[in-house]
């Protein structure tokens, strides 16, 4: 499986943007073809059984290309499906509890919204962090953007992979890279692209 430190573009299959669950496999295939390095399945409001079934199907696709699959929030899914990791938010299970629920060694990432939260997550044992939202994002409209000023310093301080997130698209990606980002997460920009494959390839070229 691709090492976390080698990953640059993190795509999220957010079911809020994919109304037909049967389309998830197609989206996963397109992300893999486009060169997305790391994929997360996120389905707010969906049952654990629904998400577990989807994760199993998607994992069969991602495993063929050594692309790690991360499930959002529900670490217990990782006890049923051989996904590579779990992602938790500030209000979700702790990293320790997530690992206990999974019942095995796996990647655990955490969302952070400030340098202080980023430092705390590293201290809790996060394998990577999401840092943002950098810009206003329709995915999480209630979160205030944190901007670009802290990106470079957080990278210097933490020493673990940092994936910048929040409103990132092809139009502002170079600005994010220039601010010190090495890895980014794309959600709505990627899922709403006319061609997920072409959009991902453009992003990975810029991140290379």
Tokens of 97: 């509890």
Report d(CA 192, CA 139) in Å as an integer.
Answer: 12
First to last CA, the chain: 19
5 given a catalytic annotation: no
Q: Which of 8, 99, 111, 183 is catalytic?
A: 111
DSSP state of 138: T
111 given a catalytic annotation: yes
CB 151 within 8 A of CB 176: yes
DSSP state of 127: S
Q: Which of 2, 46, 101, 140 is catalytic?
A: 140
Beta-bridge partners for 38: 10
Q: Which of 42, 99, 110, 122 is catalytic?
A: 42
Find the Cα–Cα–Cα–Cα dihedral 175, 176, 177, 180, rounded to 10°.
120
Question: Which residues are known to be catalytic?
Answer: 42, 111, 140
């Amino acid at each position: 499986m691709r090492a976390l430190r080698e990953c640059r573009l993190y795509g999220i299959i957010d079911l809020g943007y994919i109304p037909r669950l049967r389309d998830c496999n197609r989206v996963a295939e397109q992300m893999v073809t486009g060169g997305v390095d790391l994929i997360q399945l996120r389905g707010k409001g969906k049952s654990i059984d629904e998400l577990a079934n989807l994760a199993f199907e998607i994992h069969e696709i991602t495993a063929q290309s050594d692309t790690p699959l991360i499930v959002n929030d529900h670490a217990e899914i990782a006890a049923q499906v051989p996904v590579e990791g779990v992602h938790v938010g500030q209000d979700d299970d702790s990293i320790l509890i997530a690992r206990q629920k999974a019942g095995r060694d796996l990647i655990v990432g955490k969302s952070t919204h400030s340098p202080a939260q980023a430092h705390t997550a590293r201290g809790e044992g996060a394998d990577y962090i999401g840092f943002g939202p950098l810009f206003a994002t329709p995915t999480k409209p209630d979160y205030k953007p944190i901007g670009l000023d802290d990106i470079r310093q957080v990278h210097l301080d933490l020493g673990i992979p940092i994936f910048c997130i929040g409103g990132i698209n092809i139009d502002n990606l170079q600005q994010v890279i220039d601010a010190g980002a090495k890895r980014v997460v794309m959600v709505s920009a990627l899922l709403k692209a006319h061609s997920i494959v072409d959009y991902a390839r453009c992003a990975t070229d810029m991140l290379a």
